[in-house]
Structure 1
Amino acid sequence: MNNLSLAAVGDNTVDIYYGADDESFIGGNALNTAVQWSLMGARAGYYGAVGSDDLGFRVREALAKNKVNTDGLTELPGKTSTTLIRVEPSGDRIIAQDNFEVSATYMPSADDLDDIATRAFVHIGMSPFASRIRNELASRGVQISQDCAVSEGFEHLDVAFCSAGEESAEAHTMAREAIDGGAQLAIVTRGADGSIAFDGRDWFSVPAVEIPAVVDTTGAGDSYIAGFVAARAQGKSVLDCMRAGAAVAAKTCQHRGGFPQDP
């Protein structure tokens, strides 16, 4: 996978746990995806923004430590994004508040978009400019995926990632809406119930990978995306891509944070 070049665009954050736990981790959909690619052995690039503060330094340090290319990491006036996660006595983690800060103002430059478009596949995380980014990248002929739970729109998407609960009807509705909106392939993750896919004609289903115990589900969806996209960029079938995503997500559920790191 050393020759596979991938890029993630959008959010980074510092996940701040409170309640039953008191620690913090580097995260964010786009950043987690890029780090997971690098851990798989791909050449991963991350394009996003941090503030000129200590948290921004932590984000940059985590990317560098995991060998993610940071040429597209921009420092903007303001604060680095944070996510407050309440940890219940039961261990359940609930996102209490997202503070997107400078991530909500980041739009790649024309030069960055040209560079991003040289990658085999590009994933868009949270971005208020997702539609514009998709249009720009599509005009450059690049394959695109997006986490549609955090960014709106389906046009120009090769893969739309959605997230649903245990209700099967809701998951199927999400998949149809993504295809009707212009996506070529829709993936809906359902936590412990696995994932489904729809390409406008055929349905696919893959169960979640069983693990001894769940430590933390934070970032598991991002890890699924990373595994799926890496396999898709190598030309693998939909089912094989879904299995790859499920395998990476299962590993993430067995440690704290969206990727292995010191809290």
Structure 2
Amino acid sequence: MTGKTILVMGGAHVDRRGRIAGETAPGASNPGAWFVEAGGGAFNAARNLARLGHRVRLVSPRGGDADGDIVAAAAEAAGVEDTPFTFLDRATPSYTAIIERDGNLVIALADMELYRLFSPRRLQQRAMREAMQAAGLILTDANLPAETLAAMTGAARTAGVPIAGIAISPAKVVRFRESLSALAFLFMNEAEARTLTGEAPDNPADWPKALRAIGLGAGVVTRGGRGVIAFDERDAALVVPPDIPALGDVTGAGDSLASGFLSAWTGGSAIGEALRHGVAAAAITVRSPLAVAEEMSQAALADALSLVPEAEILS
């Protein structure tokens, strides 16, 4: 394990994906199969960071149920220190999706009510204050309430600890609006970035300017298989992801990009090189059927990095 602890506070829940085997028949029973795994943007990134050799501590609300056991087992398997707020009479958050044979989403249900109980008051507890002050980096996501994110980023700034965020979705990224100026980085896709700015630049290289204009000092914008853009107060860089011949599942790719980026950035890498590490980590994940690839490691990252082109520094 290396460096100070990375404190992760955010989504850690159970993802259930049911894939229909044949043609979808609305209003009828459809044959298919279920796939269940632990998920959550912050938790996915936490497990990747632990597999990359970092000390990682997870703090997240959890119910006293079998789904909570799934999350706990996944944390243990990845080497994450698991310290949840447990509510024995509540259900662990979950995301349940029905997917057509071709991969299109039919319908999904997100039961995330428990995250509302991660209130700003939790951050005032002595153990939480000490954990934040001792961390080398804090990572959170937009699964938490906006007021909690604002209190968290404010506390991190007071403690002098960098804090990064994961956008999660266009509907949830707005919870970061009041916290943008306090974030070390915000990881998002183009749809999430567009929600924040209210527009999409004609030239993707103009994303840094558009996001700086609304108060975000540093961030990363993913664009599917196209170039990924990272920027901070001084510089901006673009990396084009390598072609992936054997595509497994894109679930978790953005979270692994965040973990690869932050792993390199906390080690002192410049923004362009950190972005290359993020793209390499995402490439490992999309080759896996899991949201967090079991083969994620520094050795695997080094192999994947050899296929990632050099960063283009944007003017």
Calculate the TM-score normalised by the size of structure 2.
0.75
Q: Which structure 1 residue ranges, 5 or more long, are not aligned?
A: none
Paired amino acid for 1:127: L
Evaluate the alpha carbon distance shift between residue 78 and residue 177 of structure 1 in structure 2; reply closer, same or farther with a 3 A threshold.
Answer: farther
Evaluate the alpha carbon distance shift between residue 6 and residue 172 of structure 1 in structure 2; reply closer, same or farther with a 3 A threshold.
Answer: same
Q: Which structure 2 residue ranges, 5 or more long, are not aligned?
A: 21-32, 192-199, 295-315
Paired amino acid for 2:10: G
CA RMSD of aligned residues (A): 2.4
Evaluate the alpha carbon distance shift between residue 116 and residue 56 of structure 1 in structure 2; reply closer, same or farther with a 3 A threshold.
Answer: same
Paired amino acid for 1:119: A
Superposition map of 1:179-194 within 5 A: 179-194=212-227
Evaluate the alpha carbon distance shift between residue 170 and residue 123 of structure 1 in structure 2; reply closer, same or farther with a 3 A threshold.
Answer: farther
Residue 16 of structure 2: aligned partner:
16
1:196 to 229, 236, 248: 229
Question: Retained in 1: the 8 A contact 2:250–2:286?
Answer: yes
Q: Secondary structure of 1:155's partner? A: helix
Residue 96 of structure 1: aligned partner:
108
Question: Retained in 1: the 8 A contact 2:7–2:138?
Answer: yes
Tell which deviates more after alignment, 196-205 or 236-245.
196-205
Who wins on radius of gyration, i.e. which is larger?
2
Question: Retained in 2: the 8 A contact 1:176–1:198?
Answer: no
Q: Secondary structure of 1:192's partner? A: coil
Superposition map of 1:40-189 within 5 A: 40-71=52-83, 73-76=84-87, 77-92=89-104, 96-107=108-119, 108-110=122-124, 111-125=127-141, 126-128=143-145, 129-148=148-167, 149=169, 150-151=172-173, 152-153=176-177, 154-164=180-190, 169=202, 175-189=208-222
Question: Retained in 2: the 8 A contact 1:8–1:34?
Answer: yes
**Could you give the per-residue CA deviations for residues 1-25 of structure 1, whole angstroms, max 9, x where no partner exists?**
6335312111112111013341111
Paired amino acid for 2:181: E
CA–CA distance in 1 between the matches of 2:111 and 2:166? Answer: 18
CA–CA distance in 2 between the matches of 1:227 and 1:95? Answer: 31
Evaluate the alpha carbon distance shift between residue 189 and residue 168 of structure 1 in structure 2; reply closer, same or farther with a 3 A threshold.
Answer: farther
Question: Retained in 2: the 8 A contact 1:187–1:196?
Answer: yes
Point out the structure with the larger helix share.
Answer: 2
Evaluate the alpha carbon distance shift between residue 174 and residue 28 of structure 1 in structure 2; reply closer, same or farther with a 3 A threshold.
Answer: farther
Evaluate the alpha carbon distance shift between residue 176 and residue 83 of structure 1 in structure 2; reply closer, same or farther with a 3 A threshold.
Answer: farther
Q: Secondary structure of 1:59's partner? A: helix
Question: Retained in 2: the 8 A contact 1:211–1:250?
Answer: yes
Question: Retained in 1: the 8 A contact 2:217–2:232?
Answer: yes
CA–CA distance in 2 between the matches of 1:135 and 1:86? Answer: 39
CA–CA distance in 1 between the matches of 2:183 and 2:109? Answer: 28
Paired amino acid for 2:244: I
Tell which deviates more after alignment, 15-24 or 220-229.
15-24
Q: Secondary structure of 2:36's partner? A: strand
Evaluate the alpha carbon distance shift between residue 94 and residue 122 of structure 1 in structure 2; reply closer, same or farther with a 3 A threshold.
Answer: farther
Residue 225 of structure 1: aligned partner:
258
CA–CA distance in 2 between the matches of 1:120 and 1:206? Answer: 27
Q: CA deviation at 1:127?
A: 1.1
CA–CA distance in 2 between the matches of 1:106 and 1:235? Answer: 32
Q: Secondary structure of 1:83's partner? A: strand
Paired amino acid for 1:132: A
CA–CA distance in 2 between the matches of 1:210 and 1:168? Answer: 25
Q: Secondary structure of 2:230's partner? A: strand
CA–CA distance in 2 between the matches of 1:85 and 1:173? Answer: 35
